[in-house]
C-alpha cells in the first residue's frame, strides 16, 4: 500500500536552458517592449505570431497578455457591443464570464451533459430563446463536444463561434486542430496550461477584418505593421481608427519563452497522454468512480483528468477529498459550495444579473472531481495516485 504521495501537483518542468540564456540576452538588451526593436530587427512577439499561426494552421495570430484578454479582445473584434448576449457553456473557468462582462456582454449560460460537453439541445433552446448571436465555447478541461453539431447549429442560427482553447492547445477533433472550428480562437500560456510563460495569450483567426481589429484593440497604436501574421495594410486602413486601444500587448521576454516551448508541444502532448492513460486505467477499475469514455473523434491533451465520484454520496465527497489531500493527492471538487483555489462554479458569479438554475450542470458538477497531471509526475507516480484515490474511495462506499 502507498502511504503518502510526496510530489507537488503544481510543479512544472523547468524552462529549457537555451531559453534561459536567451532571456538573459533580452534582459541585457533592455528591449522588452514588443515595439522596441533595433533597426531591421523583428521582435520576439512578431516571430511568435508567425510561428504560432503556422503551427495552428491559421492565417493570423496575435500575441497578448493572457487567455482572458484574448477572449475579451476576440469578442470585441468579432463585433460584440454593450448589451450583447453571449452563449457560454456553464462549466468553465471564471475568466470566461469575466471576459463577456468586461466587454459589456450578458452571458447566457448553457447546460452541460454527463461527459462535461455542451448540451447540444440546451444550446439550441437557449440560442432560440435569447436570440444570442455569439457563442463563447470553452473546451473545459480539454473535453471537446460534438463539433459537427455545434458548427451546424452556429451556421443555421448565424451564431459567431469563438473557441476558448485554454485546455485544448495541441488537441484535435476529427483531425482538425481545436481552435480551427470557429471564427476566432483563444489560447492561454499561463503557467498551468500547455505552454508556460507565466502569463500570456494567443488569438488566431482566418478573418482579416477581425484580425486587424484585434491587433489594434490589443494596443498596437499605429505600430500594427510590426506584428507578425497580420492582414495587409488596406484592411487596417478600414479598422485602425475604429477600434479602441485596450492595452494588452505581450512583451518580448514572454514571447520568447513561448517560442522556445512550441517545438516541445507535440512531444509533451504524447507525454501527457501516457500519464493520463495510466491514471485512467487505474481509476476506471475503482468501484464508485465514473470515467466517461472519451469520443474516438477526440484527440485530447490529457493534462488533467476528471471523474465522477457518484458511488459516494455528496455528503461523503468532502471527507474523501480531504482524506486524499492528507495523503498528498490534491483533488479539486466542483461540487463545493464555496469556490476555492482555481475552481469556481457558475453559481458563484453572483455579479451576473440572473444566474439560471441549470439542474443538469449542477448535478454533474456535484460529483465532479478533477486532478492536474503535471509533466513532473512519472507514470509510476500516476499509478500511486490512482491507488490512493482507489483506497480512499472504496473504503467509503456505502457509508
Ligand atoms: C485559464 C483559462 C482561461 C484564461 O486564461 P488566463 O491566461 O489565465 O487568463 C480561460 N478559459 C479557461 C477555461 C481557462 O482554464
User: What residues does each domain of the chain span?
Assistant: 17-263, 265-394
396 in the Ramachandran plot: left (φ > 0), alpha (ψ -120 to 50) or beta? alpha
- Tell me, using a 6 A CB cutoff, whether residue 361 lines ligand 1: no
Q: Locate 138 and state its grid cell.
A: 470553452
- Tell me, using a 6 A CB cutoff, whether residue 201 lines ligand 1: yes
Q: What are 245-281's pLDDT values in tens digits?
A: 999 999 999 999 999 999 999 999 999 999 999 999 9
Contact 262, 282 (CB under 8 A): no
Looking at residue 314, its pLDDT comes to 83
Instruction: State in Å: Cα 68 to ligand 1 middle.
Output: 6
* Residue 68 Cα: closest atom of ligand 1: 9
Q: What CATH number matches the domain at 265-394, 3.10.20.30, 3.40.50.720, 3.20.20.70, 3.90.1150.10? A: 3.90.1150.10
Find, among 234, 210, 209, 262, the residue nearest to 70 by Cα: 210
* Residue 192 Cα: closest atom of ligand 1: 1
| H or E element at residue 328 | none
Give φ, ψ of 192 to 5 degrees.
Answer: -90, 10
Looking at residue 177, its pLDDT comes to 98
For the structural domain made of 17-263, what CATH number should be given? 3.40.640.10
Sign of CA dihedral 167, 172, 173, 178: positive
In testing the pocket of ligand 1, which one of 162, 166, 346, 372 has its CB within 8 Å of the most ligand atoms? 166
> CA–CA distance from 58 to each of 48, 180, 208, 230, 292 (Å)?
13, 7, 11, 11, 32
- Tell me, using a 6 A CB cutoff, whether residue 96 lines ligand 1: yes
Give φ, ψ of 118 to 5 degrees.
Answer: -55, 130
Q: At what angle do helices 252-261 and 17-29 cross, to 10 degrees?
A: 160
Q: What are 301-343's pLDDT values in tens digits?
A: 999 999 999 999 889 999 999 999 999 999 999 998 888 777 6
Instruction: Using CA atoms of 125, 130, 135, 141 in order, give the dihedral in degrees to the nearest 10.
Output: -60
- Tell me, using a 6 A CB cutoff, whether residue 97 lines ligand 1: no
Instruction: State in Å: Cα 342 to ligand 1 middle.
Output: 10
Rounded Cα distance between 377 and 277, Å, is: 13
In testing the pocket of ligand 1, which one of 171, 190, 257 has its CB within 8 Å of the most ligand atoms? 190
Q: What are 60-100's pLDDT values in tens digits?
A: 999 999 999 999 999 999 999 999 999 999 999 999 999 99
Rounded Cα distance between 185 and 168, Å, is: 11
Which residues on adjacent β-strands are paired with residue 135?
A: 87, 161
Amino acid at each position: 500500500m502507498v502511504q503518502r504521495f510526496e510530489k507537488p501537483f503544481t510543479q512544472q518542468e523547468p524552462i529549457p536552458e537555451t531559453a534561459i540564456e536567451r532571456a538573459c540576452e533580452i534582459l541585457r538588451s533592455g528591449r522588452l517592449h514588443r515595439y522596441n526593436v533595433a533597426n531591421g530587427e523583428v521582435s520576439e512577439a512578431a516571430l511568435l505570431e508567425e510561428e504560432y499561426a503556422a503551427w495552428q494552421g491559421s492565417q493570423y495570430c496575435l500575441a497578448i497578455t493572457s487567455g482572458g484578454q484574448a477572449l475579451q479582445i476576440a469578442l470585441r473584434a468579432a463585433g460584440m457591443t454593450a448589451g450583447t448576449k453571449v452563449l457560454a457553456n456553464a462549466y468553465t473557468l471564471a475568466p470566461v464570464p469575466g471576459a463577456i462582462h468586461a466587454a459589456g456582454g450578458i452571458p447566457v449560460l448553457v447546460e452541460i451533459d454527463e461527459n462535461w460537453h455542451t448540451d447540444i439541445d440546451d444550446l439550441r433552446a437557449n440560442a432560440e430563446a435569447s436570440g444570442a448571436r455569439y457563442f463563447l465555447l470553452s473546451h473545459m478541461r480539454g473535453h471537446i463536444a460534438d463539433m459537427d453539431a455545434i458548427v451546424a447549429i452556429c451556421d443555421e442560427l448565424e451564431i459567431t463561434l469563438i473557441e476558448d482553447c485554454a485546455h485544448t492547445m495541441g488537441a484535435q477533433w476529427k483531425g482538425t486542430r481545436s481552435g480551427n472550428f470557429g471564427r476566432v480562437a483563444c489560447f492561454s500560456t499561463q503557467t498551468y496550461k500547455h505552454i508556460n510563460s507565466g502569463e500570456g495569450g494567443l488569438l488566431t483567426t482566418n478573418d482579416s477584418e477581425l484580425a486587424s481589429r484585434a491587433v489594434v484593440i490589443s494596443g498596437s497604436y499605429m505600430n500594427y505593421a510590426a506584428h507578425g501574421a497580420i492582414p495587409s495594410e488596406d484592411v487596417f486602413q478600414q479598422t485602425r481608427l475604429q477600434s479602441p486601444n485596450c492595452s494588452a500587448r505581450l512583451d518580448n521576454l514572454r514571447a520568447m519563452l513561448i517560442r522556445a516551448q512550441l517545438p516541445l508541444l507535440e512531444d509533451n502532448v504524447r507525454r501527457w497522454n501516457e500519464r493520463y492513460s495510466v491514471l485512467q486505467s487505474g481509476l476506471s477499475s475503482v468501484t464508485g468512480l465514473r470515467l466517461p469514455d472519451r469520443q474516438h473523434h477526440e484527440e485530447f491533451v490529457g493534462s488533467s483528468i476528471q471523474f465522477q465520484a457518484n458511488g459516494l454520496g455528496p455528503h461523503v465527497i468532502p471527507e474523501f477529498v480531504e482524506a486524499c489531500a492528507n495523503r498528498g493527492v490534491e483533488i479539486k471538487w466542483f461540487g463545493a459550495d464555496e469556490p476555492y483555489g482555481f475552481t469556481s462554479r457558475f453559481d458563484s458569479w453572483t455579479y451576473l444579473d440572473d444566474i439560471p438554475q441549470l439542474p443538469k450542470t449542477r448535478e454533474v458538477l456535484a460529483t465532479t472531481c478533477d486532478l492536474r497531471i503535471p509533466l513532473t509526475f512519472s507514470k509510476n507516480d500516476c499509478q500511486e495516485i490512482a491507488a490512493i484515490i482507489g483506497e480512499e474511495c472504496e473504503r467509503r462506499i456505502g457509508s
